[in-house]
Structure 1
Amino acid sequence: MDRREFVTAGAAGTAALMLSSGCANARPVAAVSSSSPRGVEKGLKGDFLDLTSPRGNRDAIARIMGDVDLQSTKFGWYSGIVQGVRPGEGVRDLFGFTGFSCAKLLPSLEGKDPGFRKVLREVGYYTDLQTGEIMDTWFNPYLEEEVPVVHIANDPFNFELTDYVPLPPSYGGLNDAAPPKIPLQLDWSRKGNVLNMAQRINLFYPAALQPSSWPRESGSPFNQVTEMFMYQIDWSEMQNQENTTVKTNGTWSRITPWLPWMLMGPTDGHINYSCFMGSGDTLNLADPVAVEYARVNHPKFLEAPEVWEDPSLSSLEWFAREQKAAPLPADGQIPFAPRLDPKLPF
């Protein structure tokens, strides 16, 4: 086993699987954090599903991510805040974030590992912290500049659910990692009737937004992103074989470079999302402000896809395909916010 295979093999099946029951940009990758030993602890073998086996993990996550009757839509929702983190100053609450996803399961293709193919659309909208309204523009306090807001509208993001950790997406050819075939074992723990599942997903791959072409939108030739999920599910619901889907609640956090529409360029720092999330068989739990905004501006996102389409891209790749680079000022200099502490080197 060479070094690359060793790093990939160390990736836990739990974190390599992008399981967003509706969280923007949750993605599988080649190298991720290891699964906790709790994933095979005593007490995870139920009358219906054995969560210490790959098949039990597949069937459980299929019910979390979708509906195994293959006819119904699974809806996910998320709502929270987005923070700015810079060296030499306190963390700032910048704006809110709210959205939802619509997903369906399709049968696996003939000749493929038995399982399901999940097809998904998702939207995420940035909101004013004071009013809760979805923003068209935002005043960037770091640069003291009003900037247009670019919301998230990913269509599609699809992936396969089998007894094995799925291959990571290529993001349009940007991520060429090919991990070995790893039996699926998620990071479960159980406290009475509460079933918990944790994920940590660490991404590092070449950015579609290269600073040479996007000097105001991007400060690095690589995307460095971490996403963290905490799911809670009713154990008895999961072990009821009549349930073709299960409701979930939990949290989603994401650490990512400055959002490209913020126009932070080479400014030191990053963004942190902190959200509640959940899923069910209706959009009633999603933020009604987000649902109504989508009804007017992104109506097709109110329904799940019916077929598998490629490519599956994150919001960063969609930005590169759909937006234009912001012009530089007349002096040709890239605006950025210097560190506040003059003793810290740039």
Structure 2
Amino acid sequence: MQKIKSIFFINILLAFVSMDNLNAFELKPGKDSLDASRKITCSMIDDKPIVYWWYGRMYSRVQGERDKLLFRVEGMNIRACTSIKDPERGQGFKMVSRELLFYQDPNTGEILDEWTNPWTDETVEVLHVANDPVNWGSNYEMDKNGKPYEMNLSTHGDDWWDTSTIPLFYNNPLGGDFQQYVGGIYHATEMFNTTGSLSNLMDDSKDTAKANIGWERISYWLPWMKMSGRNGIVYFHTFGKKLESYNDLPETIKKEIKENYPIY
């Protein structure tokens, strides 16, 4: 199972920014951009839990047949940031997180324990995604080359957005020692869209920024589906947002976490 990785390397221009909020910090390279990145990622308050939540669907694609809706999917990531300092690069922060993704019945939305494979008729155990940890590297006011930290946002009016495409290609832990010869290398792509409001992001009275997220993924069959090397791929299409608190998660998700994933 792959870790969902959101990357915010952000560069922004102030030409579109409203000056109505006189207390707002400007998104200049260095500390201001670092603070904005942290507010998107988590919170300016050390160790404050921040929750992202998303939902959508997973489909199959096999040459010569119609795509099948296999599952609804619903996920969450709970994270926190901590302030750090480097003698040469200045103030910074690091993030730690855990995340879950549940496979659900495509009609009822019920979280599944078993699934009957429509190609093989075999009933298999469903292995939900439980990534612990999902941590990022540290960010500082100065980058590794001694230049002020910058962000890479697109903007229009009061809107900002970040689009990240992450191709994945590496030796599969399940594939043995001869993948370069006989195949089996892990190959997938994850695509992220993150959006929000510039005026909200730049409001220095807020410790965190509102953000909406889109996550798409293309990969070969999931190992637990037991497809035995059959032709085909799966793709995920989801959307979600940063929540006000953990309590805003759907009740079904909170119940599943309480019963089976209490550390989350």
Determine if the TM-score, normalized by the shorter chain, exceeds 0.5. yes
Which residue of 82, 86, 90 corresponds with 2:62? 86
Equivalent runs, 1:11-26 vs 2, <5 Å: 25-26=3-4
Equivalent runs, 1:144-293 vs 2, <5 Å: 144-163=121-140, 185-210=150-175, 220-293=183-256
Give the AA of the match of 1:225: A
Provide the rounded CA distance (Å) in 2 between the counterparts of 1:196 and 1:241: 19
Q: Does structure 1 retain, via aligned residues, the 8 Å contact 2:17–2:199?
A: no
Give the AA of the match of 2:25: F
Q: Which residue of 2 aligns with 1:342?
A: none
1:236-294 Cα offsets, whole Å, 9 max, x none, are 11111121111211311111221111011211222111111211330244232111101
1:205-246 Cα offsets, whole Å, 9 max, x none, are 111110679xxxxx9532212111111212111111121111
Provide the rounded CA distance (Å) in 1 between the counterparts of 2:139 and 2:199: 23
Secondary structure of the residue aligned to 2:166 is: strand
Q: Which residue of 2 aligns with 1:27?
A: 5
Q: Which residue of 2 aligns with 1:300?
A: 263
Change (3 A) 1:44 1:193: closer
Give the AA of the match of 1:26: I
Secondary structure of the residue aligned to 1:60 is: helix
Provide the rounded CA distance (Å) in 2 between the counterparts of 1:273 and 1:182: 37
| TM-fit CA distance, 1:44 | 6.0
Provide the rounded CA distance (Å) in 2 between the counterparts of 1:116 and 1:282: 21
Change (3 A) 1:62 1:39: closer
Percent identity for Structure 1 against Structure 2: 26
1:134-179 Cα offsets, whole Å, 9 max, x none, are 0000011122211110011111111124148999xxxxxxxxxxxx
Provide the rounded CA distance (Å) in 2 between the counterparts of 1:298 and 1:166: 37
Q: Does structure 1 retain, via aligned residues, the 8 Å contact 2:14–2:27?
A: no
Is 1:139 aligned to residue 111 of structure 2?
A: no
Give the AA of the match of 2:67: V
Q: Does structure 1 retain, via aligned residues, the 8 Å contact 2:16–2:157?
A: no
* Greater strand proportion: 2
Structure 2 length as normaliser, TM-score?
Answer: 0.83
Change (3 A) 1:256 1:164: farther
Give the AA of the match of 2:109: G
Change (3 A) 1:110 1:94: same
Q: Does structure 1 retain, via aligned residues, the 8 Å contact 2:6–2:192?
A: no
| TM-fit CA distance, 1:43 | 2.8
Give the AA of the match of 2:15: G
Equivalent runs, 1:110-125 vs 2, <5 Å: 113=89, 114-125=91-102
Secondary structure of the residue aligned to 1:261 is: helix
Change (3 A) 1:268 1:105: same
Provide the rounded CA distance (Å) in 2 between the counterparts of 1:201 and 1:280: 24
Give the AA of the match of 2:102: Y
Q: Count how many residue pairs are aligned between Structure 1 and Structure 2.
A: 254
Is 1:70 aligned to residue 33 of structure 2?
A: no
* CA-based RMSD: 3.1
Structure 1 length as normaliser, TM-score?
Answer: 0.65
| TM-fit CA distance, 1:192 | 2.2
Q: Does structure 2 retain, via aligned residues, the 8 Å contact 1:125–1:152?
A: yes
Q: Does structure 1 retain, via aligned residues, the 8 Å contact 2:57–2:71?
A: yes
Q: Which residue of 1 aligns with 2:21?
A: none
Q: Does structure 2 retain, via aligned residues, the 8 Å contact 1:78–1:286?
A: no
